[in-house]
Structure 1
Amino acid sequence: MREVLFLRQNQAKWREYESTPARTPEELANRFIELTDDLSYARTFYPDSSTTAYLNALTGKLHQALYKNKSAEQGRFVHFWLRELPLLVARHHGTLGVALLFFVLCTALGALSAALDDSFVRVVLGDQYVNQTLANIERGDPMAVYKGANESVMFLYITVNNIKVSLLAFATGLLPGLGTGTILFRNGMMLGAFQQFFYQKGVLLPSLLTIWIHGTLEISAIVLAGGAGLVMSRGILFPGTYARRESFRRAARDGMQLVLGLAPIFILAGFLEGFVTRHTEMPLAASLLIIGGSAGFIIWYFILYPRRLHQQQTKAFPVS
């Protein structure tokens, strides 16, 4: 990126940081992180520039202010969940939307394939699972598969496995689009075939009321992890005005923060699958409350709240 363009993109922000004190210690810490990123970039590409000297001085001032008040580190965890992660999500809403659209198309393709070919379900889900589920349906308890294992063991196994899948979905973003796309494709096909199988056996509603108790959070988090992988892929393929290496560094950092932010969701989904989903006899209202609450949280925290924060930030710091 040419220095004049680098200045044009960031000068208003630097002036704001220089003239307006941070309102909270957390905001001061966030400004310091952004300035160190800008200073690192300037030192790399404009080592003898006045821009680099200016950024070095401004970063030094923020460093002194930051470490004069040690409480800047307090509340950092809360700040990440209340502001940093939602704003990061808002910044990449388009890419995350692409991941969701692709996953929905793959799910529809999986359902269609299962509807046209009865053997497809066995290919995707495996003979053992299909045979066990058929036996459970004949006994009048189609969701009995969730009752077999010990609750704690099931919770730990599922949580660890889901986190592994999310990290893999992100890491394979290094293979621009292909690795992450493959994981989203596989999971979407499995979900579509899975639900079509229960539809064909006449137990779609019981499956929906049971599986989506944990699946609402689990599937949403897998799609978001895939979106994080696509964020990294986009940084590699479309660097824009940045050098490709710098674009990749920024995209990888954003993607990793997104994936790490999903860990509590996977833990909660694992808890629900291990301890709650097995109670297939629970009242309809309880199932709907859990599913609706989970869906409401995903929509609010990953769509509505990030948009509102982004709009507030844009009004507070308009681009000149």
Structure 2
Amino acid sequence: MREALFIKRNKEKWIKYETEPSTDPDEQSERFIALLDDLSYSKTFYPNSNVTKWINGIATETYKSIYEHRKQDFSRLRTFWTTELPLLFYKHRKLLYFTFFFFLLAIILGVLSSKTDQLFVRGILGNSYVSETENRIENGDPFGVYRSDDKFGMFLAIATNNIRVAFLAYISGLVFWMLFLSFSTLRVLMFNGVMIGAFEYMFFARDLGWQSILVIWIHGTLEIWSIVIAGMAGLVLGFGYVFPGTYSRLTSFRIAAKESVKIIVALVPFFILAAFLESYVTYQMSDTFSAAGVGLPVWLSILILAVSVLFIVFYFFYLPRKVFKKFNSYETGEKTLVVIKEYNEEIPA
């Protein structure tokens, strides 16, 4: 899109945000998200333009209006990350297992389909991307696509896109269970899983498989796992509506919505970290396996991968069970009741 058209389409919105400040928290958040999308686009395509500086200024003032007078309760924040969220993962652990193995099955399907049909990879990833990657491989720079001069713009674009995919996987869970449309959480997970399988096969078939793991999964480990968790949150939302159990459908849906929103919002830091790694670390590791051979040491990639995997195992599997055991709890058949005295609320599982 030409810069003039971009400005024409959004100018009135930016002027309104700048000249008519809002005091409504929800509207402020919506404005800030919209400005971040515009800023990400502008930084990517018009990095040195005055319009980029203008949007950045409006976004800065909007951010200040949201957080300037808000008192941060660090104790509550710490409890959320160390107790409340792990308990939610324990409660919905069966859906987590299902989502993980479903996604893994999709990856395997992508690999097998790519192996049996040479045109499958192009159909999933696109002709232009595959052709560009093949040219880079022939030129001794197989992972050069991760290199960019505008690292911050790349960071914003990646983070925004990853968060968008996660929210898509989340909200489509309700659509699937209520309307049984094909555009659902499982469809989003299936497509992304198949795409990853085809993507990795493209490199393994050219004896670049382990190099791709050392480069791409620096950021991909947290990024892909966050998409799995977003898919789980979507199923939590859908199950809450379709299978209310002993609750009324409205009450069950309200509880599921509250819990799933907490899960999906908690993923934002993980997507931001993954975007940072992709923008500032992955591209340097890609130089290690280029013809130049100048980049980060391989051991650093292995270290980042190991820390990422250990963190996932610890936070999403080990910690939830450990926190659950700390509280006064009992199990009766398939129903578990966890009493959290700090919040004086019951969480049925």
TM-score of the superposed pair, with normalisation by structure 2: 0.69
Matched-pair contact (CA < 8 Å) for 2:174–2:238:
yes
What percent identity do the matched residue pairs reach? Answer: 43
One-letter code of the match for 1:300? F
Instruction: Give the CA deviation at 1:233.
Output: 1.1
* Distance (whole Å) between structure 1 residues aligned to residue 253 and residue 124 of structure 2: 34
Give distance in 2, aligned partners of 1:233 and 1:115: 35
1:118 aligned onto 2:115? no
Contact 2:240 2:256 in 1 (8 A): yes
How many Å separate the matches in 1 of 2:206 and 2:72? 58
- Residue 131 of structure 1, CA deviation: 0.8
**Matched residues in 1 for 2:208 and 2:224: separation?**
21
Structure 1 residue 175: deviation in Å? 1.9
Alignment match, 2:167: 167
TM-superposed deviation, 1:176: 3.2
| Partner-residue secondary structure (3-state), 2:217 | helix
User: Pick from 225, 229, 233: which aligns with 2:230?
Assistant: 225
C-alpha contact (below 8 Å) 1:176/1:234 kept by paired residues: no
Report the CA distance between 1:314 and its aligned residue.
Answer: 3.8
More strand per residue: 1 or 2?
A: 2
2:264 is aligned, of 250, 259, 262, to: 259
Other structure's SS at 2:320 match? helix
What is the aligned partner in structure 1 of residue 128 from structure 2? 128
Give the 3 Å change call, closer, same or farther, for CA 319–241 of structure 1 in structure 2. Answer: closer
Structure 1, residues 94-120: CA drift from partner, whole Å, max 9, x if none?
111111111001110011100011111
Residue identity opposite 2:267 in structure 1: L
From 293, 312, 320, the counterpart of 2:326: 312
Which amino acid is the alignment partner of residue 261 of structure 1? A
Q: Distance in 1 between matches of 2:325 and 2:313?
A: 17
Q: Distance in 2 between matches of 1:161 and 1:78?
A: 28
Q: Structure 2: state its 5+ residue gaps.
A: 1-70, 289-295, 339-349
Richer in helix (by share): 1
Deviation at 1:245, TM superposition (A): 1.2
What one-letter code is carried by the residue in structure 2 that aligns with 1:264? P
Q: How far apart are 1:319 and its partner, in Å?
A: 6.1
| Shift in alpha-carbon separation, 1:246–1:115, aligned structure 2, 3 A | same
Deviation at residue 163 of structure 1 after TM alignment: 0.6
Matched residue, 2:254: 249
Distance (whole Å) between structure 1 residues aligned to residue 100 and residue 143 of structure 2: 27
Where does 1:45-124 land on structure 2 (aligned, <5 Å)?
A: 73-124=73-124
Paired residues of 1:176 and 1:236 also in contact (CA < 8 A) = no
What is the CA–CA distance in structure 2 between the aligned matches of 1:85 and 1:262, rounded to whole Å? 11
Change (3 A) 1:242 1:206: same
Secondary structure, aligned partner of 1:215: helix
Query: Among 302, 317, 331, which residue is 1:303 paired with?
Result: 317
Structure 2: how far apart are the matches of 1:149 and 1:117? 36
Paired residues in the alignment total 250
Q: Deviations 1:120-152 (Å, cap 9, x if unpaired)? A: 111111111101110111111211110135211
Structure ID, larger Rg: 1
* 1:198 counterpart residue number: 203
User: Highest relative contact order (Cα 8 Å, sep 6+), 1 or 2?
Assistant: 1
In structure 1, what is the Cα distance between the partners aligned to 2:246 and 2:329? 25
Which letter maps to 2:139? R
Equivalent position SS for 2:176:
coil
8 Å Cα contact 2:329/2:337 also seen in 1: no
Tell me how far apart the structure 1 counterparts of residues 119 and 316 of structure 2 sit (CA, whole Å): 37
8 Å contact from structure 2 (residues 155, 276) kept in 1: yes
2:246 partner SS: coil
Letter of the structure 1 residue corresponding to residue 326 of structure 2:
Q
Describe the shift of the 1:275–1:189 C-alpha distance in structure 2 as closer, same or farther (beyond 3 A).
Answer: same
Question: Once the two structures are superposed, what CA deviation does each residue of 1:224-272 show, in whole Å capped at 9, x if it has no partner?
Answer: 0000001111111211111111111111111110001111100000000
Residues 72 and 167 of structure 1: is their aligned pair in 2 closer, same or farther, counting only changes over 3 Å? closer
Q: Distance in 2 between matches of 1:80 and 1:222?
A: 21
Q: In the alignment, which residue of structure 2 is the partner of 1:8?
A: none
Distance, in Å, in 2 between the alignment partners of 1:137 and 1:161 is: 26
Q: Deviation per CA, 1:164-218: give whole Å up to 9, x if none.
A: 1111111111123551011101100000000111111111111111010000000
Change (3 A) 1:246 1:138: same
* TM-aligned CA distance change 1:319 to 1:302, over 3 Å: closer
Any runs of at least 4 consecutive aligned residues in structure 1 with deviations exceeding 3 A, and if so which?
71-74, 314-320
Query: Relative to 1, partners in 2 of residues 1:205 and 1:319: Cα closer, same or farther, differing over 3 Å?
Result: closer
Matched residue type, 1:239: P
Answer yes or no: is 1:183 the counterpart of 2:188: yes
Q: How far apart in 2 are the matches of 1:148 and 1:159?
A: 15
Give the counterpart of 1:215 among 215, 220, 242. 220
Partner of 1:271: 276
Report the Cα distance in structure 2 between the residues aligned to 1:143 and 1:184, rounded to whole angstroms.
Answer: 25
